[in-house]
Amino acid sequence: MELVAFPSTEAEFRACFADEDQCRAYLARLKWPEGFRCAHCGGETAYFLPSKRVVYECARCGRQVSLIAGTIFEQSKKPFALWFRAIFEVTASKQGISAAELHRKLGLGSYQTAWSWLQKIRGAMVRPNREPLSGEVEIDESYVGGPEAGKPGRAAEEKAIVAAAVEKRGRGCGRVRLGLLTSVSASALIGFVQNHLDGGQIAHTDGWRGYAKLGKTGYQHIVSVLSRLDQTAAEVLPRVHLIFSLLKRWILGTHQGSVSLKHLQGYLEEFAFRFNRRHARRITHGAERLLGIAIVTPPRPFWNIVGRSPPQVKARLAALT
Ligand SMILES: [Zn+2]
């Protein structure tokens, strides 16, 4: 079946991606938008090998290529139709979905599978070479996770420093970017800003000294210092404070606060993905975007999914405590 336009309703999505052939054909079109081209001989015709499920063979030279090598689907033996359904569930829901809900909804073999799928899907929420933020941008940082208010001191190692940058669009917000920081030092904060904001743009921060050199780093720097006692930080940088309160509420709500530091970056990516598409008209918009990214996104390293940490990450986590 040739897909003329991406399905726009849940019913259409289910009908379009109901079986393996439909899903595989769609992924093949994403992988080879100009049609198949053999990386070895340049041949332009390939045959699908049904016995191998995900393998195409070049008609000219006979080389075989996997549709899903180097993507989040690699190594999964589960049907594509189930993956498509999971991607729909995660992206269509306004508040996201927990691993337990995904497990129940899809009837996946185990909670663990649902959890690792969620992690992989989050890994496909960042488009490579995405456009930097532009115009005037509010930037701030906050502590996320860890003990709730009123229980100071406990489990301090589970507190993370999260930086946020959000575009000002009139009185509202444009796009947002979030990042996990190792500290609130100038180098960490300026590094975050440089990752997400082109030089020459306007960076609006509070008076924290970590931001002091932004003006000398090629940005127009607006500093709002809390000058009056009755002024709150939320009044000075309202958009970025809104982002932090939504983020914290989402972590406490959908995920019941059970977000470990090791996996926080994935949650931040999911939050930003959903926030940046909040005005999308079609319920399938997020799924379409995510599938496009997924076909070119390498799977996350195993340690990141099972929670083991390579040495440099251990050092980074230790620095957070
Ligand atoms: Zn070939």
pTM: 0.86
Q: What's the token pair of residue 135?
A: 């115009």
Dihedral (Cα; 228, 234, 240, 241), 10-degree rounding: 140
155 compared with 187, residue with greater pLDDT = 187
User: What's the 55 CA to ligand 1 centre distance in angstroms?
Assistant: 13
Predicted pLDDT of residue 156: 47
Written as one letter, the residue type at 136 is E
Place of tokens 């999911």: 270
46 alpha carbon – ligand 1 mean position (Å): 8
Q: What per-residue confidence (pLDDT) applies to 226?
A: 75
DSSP string, 229-260: TT--HHHHSHHHHHHHHHHHHHHHHTTTT---
What pLDDT is attached to residue 146? Answer: 63
Average pLDDT over residues 59-79: 93
CA of 28 relative to ligand 1 center, distance in Å: 16
pLDDT of residue 320: 47
Question: From ligand 1's centre to the CA of 43, what distance in Å?
Answer: 5
254: Cα separation from own chain's centroid: 16
Is residue 201 within 8 Å of residue 194, measured between CB atoms? no
Cα gap 188→213, rounded to integer Å: 12
pLDDT at 53 over 60: yes
Going from the Cα of 305 to the center of ligand 1, the distance in angstroms, rounded, reads 35
Q: What is the pLDDT of residues 266-318, one digit of tens each?
A: 899 999 999 999 999 999 999 999 999 999 887 765 545 555 555 454 555 55
| Side-chain-facing half-sphere of 2: CA atoms under 13 Å | 1
What are the pLDDT digits (tens) for 161-205? Answer: 999 999 999 999 999 999 999 889 999 999 999 999 999 999 999
**C-alpha span between 271 and 251 (Å, rounded):** 9
Encode pLDDT of 31-43 as tens digits: 999 999 999 999 9
Predicted local confidence at residue 114, as pLDDT? 94
Q: Give the Å distance between the CA of 61 and the centre of ligand 1.
A: 4
- For residue 49, the CA-to-ligand 1 centroid distance in Å is 15
Amino acid letter, 105: K
What is the rounded average pLDDT of the residues 114-137? 91
**Bridge partners, residue 58, by sequence:** 46
CA of 67 to the centre of ligand 1 (A): 15
